[in-house]
Amino acid sequence: MSAPRIEIDLDLVEHNTRVLVDRLAARDVRVLGVTKATLGSPGVAAAMLRGGAVGLGDSRVENLARLTDVDGAVPRTLIRSPMLSQAAHVVRTATASLNTEPAVIAALDAAATHAGLRHDVILMVELGDLREGIAVDDVAAAVQVVLESPSLRLRGLGANLACQNGVVPDDANMGVLHRLVDRTEAHHRLALDVVSSGNSANLDWALTTTRLDRTNELRLGEAILLGTEPLRRAPIDGLSTKAFALVGEVIEIADKPARPWGDQAQAAYGEPPARVGGGSRRQAIVALGRQDVDLDGLLPPPGMVVLGMSSDHLVLDVGDHPITVGDELRFRLGYGALVRAMTSPFVARAERQVLGTPDALGPVAGSARR
């Protein structure tokens, strides 16, 4: 198989989805499976649906278009506020979208009317993380705009926390959203289908609070894909952290001095990495670079240390591992590294569904390339 590549165990994606779906179902909360970190992979989407996700979400309309072949009847939600220039594409591709701007809402209504379609809108409320969201005092006016749009349906209210400034979901900020839902329903004498309170960062709150109240949906990506929660990047009990692995090929192996010599200035990406200690190191170069993956969140096999990365070269201290040229090394990925690797045109993808076990993609020191 070609390298670099991402190996995806679809059984583990399904397993993680099912565990979270079951835990949240006990609290009457549904799961929207978010595929944006996988470039809208139909295979990953299908695994999420097999695991019990009620619908699919992605931040790019182009990714959602890939998911129409998975199951045309499955709800598909655009989870980034639509671009004004893409309104027509959005209503043809997504069954619903998260919105904040009256001008965009008007464009969606016009596009849906022209296409003879009905499009669902979830209005996003600003709760303190200062990314997308309508100010609390302006929500009533935004609701009115949607209700007066003949080709749109107000499906619910939502919020997003933790992504921009790390604001933690809690009873206080979630309570603001819940009170807005109550107020909206009472004032307009309607029932909102969806209260989409947040993302994977909401899991701990949603599973432990005694004030879950109106929340009935979470948009989950990282927790399903990586088995971790975003607030502290800690593994979630019962989930696999091994559904994804990045595989790179060794192109050089040599004993080299621990420190560089000669006058030093800027390196390819700013200040050169610190090299400490004396003697020599067993150093490997892997054909991976910043064009392929973020260094932050790239986790090498046990016993190896990342010494640096440029556009096309990853340098490792491999210690006593018996590595040779042509060997493949398997890396685990954090969320940012996964997103970059999945969107790089230089990284192949290998999806497999073999009813794997939670240890199916454990990191290894190296393997001979076949």
How many whole angstroms separate alpha carbon 287 and alpha carbon 278?
Answer: 26
For 93, other C-beta atoms within 10 Å of its C-beta total: 20
Tokens representing 165 are 């400034």
Phi/psi-derived region of residue 260, left when phi > 0, alpha when psi is between -120 and 50, beta in every other case:
beta
- Collapsing DSSP states into helix, strand and coil, what is residue 222? helix
Which pLDDT score, from 0 to 100, does residue 262 have? 86
Which pLDDT score, from 0 to 100, does residue 250 have? 99
The chain-wide mean pLDDT, for the chain, equals 94
Which pLDDT score, from 0 to 100, does residue 275 have? 74
Lowest mean pLDDT among 95-104, 238-247, 269-278, 357-366: 357-366
Domains of the chain and any CATH numbers: 10-235 (3.20.20.10), 244-352 (2.40.30)
Tokens representing 206 are 């949603």
- Which residue is associated with the tokens 């006990």? 26
- Collapsing DSSP states into helix, strand and coil, what is residue 335? helix
Which pLDDT score, from 0 to 100, does residue 370 have? 28
- What is the sign of the dihedral through the CA atoms of 67, 69, 71 and 75? positive
Return the percentage of the chain with pLDDT > 70, whole number.
96
Nearest 5 degrees, angle CA 39-CA 44-CA 45? 90
DSSP string over 223-278: HHHHSEETTTTEEPTT--S-SEEEEEEEEEEEEEESS--S----BTTBSPPP---S
Global confidence as pTM: 0.93
Give the confidence band of 159 by pLDDT, cuts at 50, 70, 90. Answer: very high
pLDDT of 17 > 80? The answer is yes
pLDDT of 362 > 70? The answer is no
Q: Is 30 exposed, middle or buried, given 0-12, 13-18 or 19+ CB atoms closer than 10 A?
A: middle
pLDDT of 360 > 80? The answer is no
Please say whether the beta carbons of 301 and 330 come within 8 A: yes
- Phi, psi (degrees; rounded to nearest 5) at 141: -65, -40
Query: How do residues 322-339 score in pLDDT, each as one tens digit?
Result: 999 999 999 999 999 999
Give the confidence band of 316 by pLDDT, cuts at 50, 70, 90. Answer: very high
pLDDT of 196 > 60? The answer is yes
Which pLDDT score, from 0 to 100, does residue 354 have? 79
